[in-house]
Every structure is written in structure tokens, then in C-alpha cells.
Structure 1
Amino acid sequence: MVINSAAISVATLIHELMIEAFIEYKNEIPPTSALDETVQSVSDALEKGEKALIASEENKPVGMVRFQLKND
């Protein structure tokens, strides 16, 4: 498995991986807010300093994580 830092240019891929991961929870109560995300909201978050990592196996993206670094 290879894990790479993600750039804003792959916001579509980040969104696709996120939707794929969370779609099974669409009928949960309370519902997951991940399914309300759009490519634009992911891109906006990355532009505002959010970070993302993408995990790949055999050059195929298989997972991702989004996070923020905070001083406290």
C-alpha cells in the first residue's frame, strides 16, 4: 500500500472515495454528513488548509482520509 498527500486537483477522486465509503450509511439515524459533501465543498476545504491522504494498492486508489492540523 502506498499513501500519498493529495492536492486540490484530485478533489473529485477524494469525493468519489468518500461517497463510496459512506454510501452504506445513507439511511442511518442520524445520517452521515459525508454524503452531503460535493466536489466543490471538498475543493473549498482543501483550499482553506484542510489536508488529505490517498491510499493506493497496485496504483488503484482504495481509501482516503481528510484532516486538519491544529496547534492545540
Structure 2
Amino acid sequence: MNNDTAPSPHFDRPVTVKVLREQWGIPYGDSQLLRLEREGKFPRRFKLGGRVNAWLESELAAWIKERAASRDTATVAV
């Protein structure tokens, strides 16, 4: 079996909008994602081809970690 086409452990996989919602649990609609991207509050997508867009897995993971870190530093009103 030839493993030349298998992604390396360091391969940054593309995440489509379907995967973003179903597997990453990010529920934002298309217009909200576009708005957040324009405002610099969400990773920017790129074209895979045709009408298919994707985000880099590493950028999404970093974005989620930033959200969690901000939760830990936010002050909570009692």
C-alpha cells in the first residue's frame, strides 16, 4: 500500500462550512460568519474550488482557544 497521499501529522486540513457546523459545533449562519470575518473576529475562509470555501483547522482551533481564554479572564457581574 502506498502512503504517499496520506496527510502528514502536520497537515493543516481544510474545514468546510458543513464540517464547521456538524463536527466543530459552530452554529453561525452564513451572513454572521461573513460579518465576523470582515470584522476580524473569525478566521478568514479561502476558496477550495468552484463554490467550496473552507477554513484552516489550525486557525479554527486557535480561535476556539482564544474564546475559552477570554472566558477565563472575563469579569463576571454578581
TM-score (norm 2): 0.33
- Which of structures 1 and 2 has the larger relative contact order (alpha carbons within 8 angstroms, sep 6+)? 1
More strand by share: 1
Greater radius of gyration (CA): 2
